Amino acid sequence: MSICLALSDADWNLTKDIFSIVGTVATVVGVAFASYVGLGGLSTWKKQLSGTSNHELARRVLVLAYKYRDAVDRVRNPWISPKEMELDNTLENGDTSQERRYTGTCIAYDKRFLLVTESRRELDVTLLEAEALWGSEIKELIKPLYDKSWKLYAYIETYMMSIDPGQDDAYRQEYAEIVRSQPNIRNRKDRADQDTFAIEFNQLLNNVERYLRSKLA
């Protein structure tokens, strides 16, 4: 014995309309769901991309900050090699040995500070990108490092004026008094715990490290 569901033509047409509506609704819901999933995936991808960009940029800034630190530290190396002091032949004519030694020392410091300037230029370019992405905080953290190196430059410049053999005693004495009134930061100390300049510089660098490592996480 079979059981059949008898439908009139009107009932069948109504049923077809209902199925059509249900199918349309299901399609719309499916598209909406797919769009939701797609947007969710896009959002996740953007977050991943942003995280990758932050990580790479933070790594580059940190590496360049270390490069800047090393350039500043090289300036303070108490040993100056003959290669660093090498003079152009035109600078040697007519100079005494003291004057040649003084000029050679000036040239050595110029070469060392040139490396500081070059490393700062590299860091500054990357900081522009970092500022655009993160705001000005990273530049504010880096600035004290620049200030410390500027103080080092000013101290060494004053020291070189105080020993310039081309100047009279009164001139040298004036600058020598300025040098004596300040902590001697020209050369790094043999003992790290006694090197105030390096300790302060590294403390400032630690602030930069903490900020950047939060971007590396």
HEC string for 47-81: HHHHHHHHHHHHHHHHHHHHHHHHHHHHHCCCCCC
What pTM was computed for the model? 0.75
The one-letter amino acid code at 31 reads V
pLDDT computed for residue 7 by the predictor: 45
Measured from the Cβ of residue 109, the count of other Cβ atoms closer than 10 Å reads 20
Successive 10-residue mean pLDDT values, the chain, 217 residues? 48 50 51 48 44 84 98 97 82 75 95 97 96 95 98 98 95 97 95 95 97 88
pLDDT computed for residue 53 by the predictor: 82
pLDDT tens digits along 158-215: 999 999 999 999 999 999 999 999 999 999 999 999 999 999 999 999 999 999 999 8
Structural contact between residues 156 and 109, judged by C-beta atoms closer than 8 angstroms = yes
In angstroms, rounded to a whole number, what is the distance separating the alpha carbons of residues 153 and 171? 20
- What backbone torsions phi and psi does residue 54 show, to the nearest 5 degrees? -60, -45
pLDDT computed for residue 9 by the predictor: 52
Instruction: Decide: residue 178, CB within 10 A, 0-12 exposed, 13-18 middle, 19+ buried.
Output: middle
Instruction: State how far Cα 144 lies from the chain centre.
Output: 13
pLDDT computed for residue 95 by the predictor: 76
In angstroms, rounded to a whole number, what is the distance separating the alpha carbons of residues 64 and 110? 21
Structural contact between residues 62 and 209, judged by C-beta atoms closer than 8 angstroms = yes
